[in-house]
Amino acid sequence: MGKVWVYAELNQGALAPTSLELMALARELGDVEAVALGGGAKAAAATLGKHGAKVVHVNEDAAFDDFVAEPATAALASLYKEQAPDLILFSFTPDSREVAGRLAARLEVGLISNAGNVVATGGGFVAKVPYFGGAKLASMKANKKPAIILVRPKSFEPSEAGGTAEVKDFKASIDEGSKRAHIIERVVEASEKVKLEDAKVVISGGRGMGGPNNFPLLEELANALGGAVGASRAVVDAGWVPYSMQVGQTGKSVRPGVYIAVGISGAMQHTVGMKASKIIIAINKDAEAPIMKMADLGVVGDALKIVPALTAAVKAKKK
Amino acid sequence: MTGPLKIVVTVKQVPDPNSSLTLEADNTLSREKEVVLDPGDECGVEEGLQLKEAHGGEVILVSMGPERAKDAIRKGLSMGADRGVLITDPQLAGADALLTARALAAAIKPEAPDLVICSTESYDGSTGMVPPMLAELLGVPQLTFAKKVEVDGSNVKVHRQTGDGYQVVEASTPALITVTAGIAEPRYASLKGIMAARSKEIKLIGLGDLGIERGEPAETIEGLADAATRKAGAVIEDDGTAVDRIIQVLAEAKVI
């Protein structure tokens, strides 16, 4: 059995749920250790232990919270030299991928991103990665040591394995030179009613919504259903809605009970982040749109008429 | 006040997002389809041009790809960038993220730019792994997911988009910035710009010029299987009963 590291992502002291998803995978692959950096690392270590980490390497230096990627890269690189894990798992999230990218370049090993699964084979690791517009699933064998693999959020269900981690406070050599991209202010904009990742119903809009002025129609439907509103990359790029609403490969991954795609054609960038939803309903003008081929119910019609009518019908049903 | 800025913008030629992809025999994505300058990179070029207009300086486009990727560079030059560099070498076909970053870093280093601007992720790969690798190899900090960029002297400040808002992140130049597509509406090339671009320099360089060997890739594709597909369900025309059908599905799923 190889030694597998999980990079535990901490956001201002809170352990990211995706890190526990990684723990569920890591337990299948070898002896699991985790690395937690920044404020809250020791508290996170207890949780990581319950999820199967035998050892958690911690360092609570404030630099990890205050500076982008570089202090974490420096700490991981030096700890790697000492500990030599065979595999380092990262979540394929904006914060973790920045650290993974720098580390993969510093160690000169490269990486595999966007994996939906990893299997151990004959002393090595093979990642399953969507390929060719999502129509194919590639088995990618990691050639380097350490293998660095980034796993898409929501690919695994967190589960406790019982156990307690040995917490090892390690000395990180964070030189001043890595304290460069300084986070000087954090601004919270989202009025988070229901979190997109946790919503039981997600209603997402794409170009077919016609313009940002029509997104309140989706909000009203989401409110009626107790759900959350997402969006395709196309409309996020067009500036209609903030990035925090993007569902897809590099946005958020969701797997709600019901996903309603409104005016979204269904490019892989998007579908990879939502196709694990239990039920998919698509509303689109184009009967040939790829989303129609994966929807449980596809409605060909005018979203701007159907959505308000649906909202009214849901409200009436609730009375 | 800020002196003139030397800005490198990385650009990529990608299959037109509106056309479908095909696979080569060696399982790399074919680039033989209609190709365009990555729409995300157009925003990077625009941001670079706006910074140049505010502070003076130079915008250099650096790309990697087959020789016809010159067309993508030319598009950026017609928007107003000053000159281009294209890393082109048969050995680079199917390059992984690290090899791409190594080649870009080797081409960019001699330019000693104040800023390197990349789009957050490419349209075709959409993994966003090259920028942090490139920042590491250039030895500069990374200011990522920027929806706003301000430069004051040697200080660069960005608004970095996060899941629930944004962070204000600052660093000193030289620095690498990744910009989100919403940062700036790319300008159309004027006729004058298109004419001027014809005589602008695009320097071609190979791996040998950069002193790079290809090396072993991080991964080998061992096999391709058909991805699990969802069964298509009913597709209905909205003849006025669609809402009832949706309500029925929502009720069966027990969300109402």
Tokens of B53: 């207009």
Q: In what order do the strands lie in the sheet with A30-37?
A: A112-115, A147-151, A87-91, A2-8, A30-37, A55-59, A166-169
Chain A hits for B126, CB-CB cut-off 8 Å, are 248-250, 269
Per-residue pLDDT, B24: 67
Is A73 near chain B, with CB under 8 Å? yes
Report how far residue A49's alpha carbon sits from residue A8's, in angstroms, rounded to the nearest whole number.
12
Report which secondary-structure segment, H or E, holds A297: strand A297-300
Sign of the dihedral defined by the CA atoms of residues A152, A155, A160, A166, in that order:
negative
Q: Are residues A134 and A248 in the same domain?
A: no
Residues A205, A294 share a domain: yes
A159 belongs to a structural domain? yes
**Same domain membership, residue A142 and residue A9:** yes
Q: In this structure, is residue A170 part of a structural domain? A: yes
pLDDT at B34: 81
Instruction: Confirm whether A31 is domain-assigned.
Output: yes
Pseudo-torsion of CA A35, A41, A47, A53, nearest 10°?
Answer: 20
Q: Is B159 left (phi over 0), alpha (psi -120 to 50) or beta?
A: beta
pLDDT in tens, B80-133: 999 999 999 999 998 999 999 999 999 999 999 999 999 998 888 778 999 999
| In a domain? residue A189 | no
* Range B21-33 average pLDDT: 64
Residues A136 and A262 in one domain: no
For residue A161, the enclosing domain spans 2-178
Complex prediction ipTM = 0.91
Identify the closest residue of chain B to A70 by CA–CA distance.
B141
Q: Please, what are the domains in chain B?
A: 5-210 (3.40.50.620)
Q: Is the pLDDT of residue A19 over 60?
A: yes
**CA–CA separation, B31 vs B48, rounded Å?**
27
What CATH number has the domain bearing residue A275? 3.40.50.1220
CA distance A133 to A290: 11
Nearest to B97 among A110, A131, A260 (CB): A110
The reply to whether A222 and A284 lie within a common domain is yes
| Arithmetic mean of pLDDT, B178-190 | 90
Dihedral (C-alpha) B92, B96, B102, B104: value to the nearest 10 degrees?
A: 70
pLDDT per residue as tens digits for the range A255-304: 999 999 999 999 888 998 999 999 999 999 999 999 999 999 999 999 99
Query: Looking at residue B160, what is its pLDDT?
Result: 94
The CATH number assigned to the domain holding A79 equals 3.40.50.620
Q: Are residues A173 and A50 in the same domain?
A: yes
In this predicted structure, what is the pLDDT of residue B39? 87
Q: Is residue A184 part of a domain?
A: no
Number of domains in chain A: 2
**Domain final position from A117, A148, A178:** A178
**Nearest by CB: B126 against A99, A269, A281:** A269
Closest Cα in chain A to B186: A238
Asked if residue A157 and residue A20 are part of one domain, the reply reads yes
Looking at the fold, whether A105 and A158 belong to one and the same domain comes out as yes
Taking the Cβ of residue A313 and every Cβ of chain B, the question of whether any pair is shorter than 8 Å is answered with yes
